[in-house]
Amino acid sequence: MAVKVAVSGFGGRMGRALAEALELAENAELSAALVRPGSSLVGADAGEVAGLGRNGLAILDSLEHADFDVLIDFTAPQATVDNAAYCAAHGRPIVIGTTGFDTEQKDRVLANAEKVPLCLASNFSTGVNLCFKLLETAARVMGEDADIEIVEAHHRHKVDAPSGTALSMGEVVAETLGRDLDKVAIYGREGQTGARERDTIGFATVRGGDVVGEHSVMFLADGERVEINHRASSRLSFARGAVRAALWLADDNAVRAPGHYDMRDVLGLN
């Protein structure tokens, strides 16, 4: 029997990509498509909105009317806080790809992991999560002798910076080196900044055009440089990863205990 998957934020780019990924999945189906209350899409056919042809599934504005086994949420921080609380109250696993949380919002989201399995990741791409493992190795081998800089680029519509993925990359490197990212991160430079301090991790952000997502982490030592890069050409890579995570959480043959998981758990990389 196919796993019933609800998708919140269905009117956005990722919502449509998730609909396509679910169409391609053999053992999952789109059972509910959700948008914010007041949206002009409420009541429209989800298949038509996603460009996949009519499927008879009317778009909803509330989880209370949705039939689902697991929710995939790519929305905005406050909406995700509310959706995670609903899932916890009703015993439904949730996959979260929303970024831009403040500390309080993230704590409120993760508190729900005490009741249900919750997969929160800054990026659901298989390639990006492989990069996280490569960054651990690079940081162990070169991190103490190299300057570390992270550059990311996204489309003009992205509202948070640096990207959640860039921050996760910085966290992986900092944790491996025993550093506190909150203390060593440098977000952009301007004017007379002085010489670079070795322990810092620099971030640079580019916004423009229709760039799906590009990330580069540079380990710059005297006489050599190592770069670990990832470039996404389609949101479908993120969507298929999120569907994979949803199926992993809802797997009847390996029931997941309540807890906070990430995509590296799904891929067996942790």
**Residues designated as active site:** 154, 158
Left (φ > 0), alpha (ψ -120 to 50) or beta: where does 91 sit? left
Burial (0-12, 13-18, 19+ Cβ within 10 Å), 150: buried
Please give the backbone phi and psi of residue 3, each rounded to the nearest 5 degrees, phi first: -75, 130
What single letter denotes the amino acid at residue 6? A
Q: How many CB atoms lie within 10 A of CB 188?
A: 11
DSSP 23-79: HH-SSEEEEEEE--TT-TTTTSBHHHHTTS---S-B-BS-GGG---SEEEE-S-HHH
Strand order in the sheet with 185-187: 185-187, 201-207, 147-154, 213-221, 224-232
Cα–Cα distances in angstroms (integers) from residue 206 to residues 135, 161, 227, 239, 240, in the given order: 21, 9, 18, 23, 25
Please give the backbone phi and psi of residue 226, each rounded to the nearest 5 degrees, phi first: -115, 135
Residue indicated by tokens 């509910």:
32
DSSP secondary structure letter of residue 176 = H
User: Which residues make beta-bridge pairs with 207?
Assistant: 154
Residue indicated by tokens 């909803």:
60
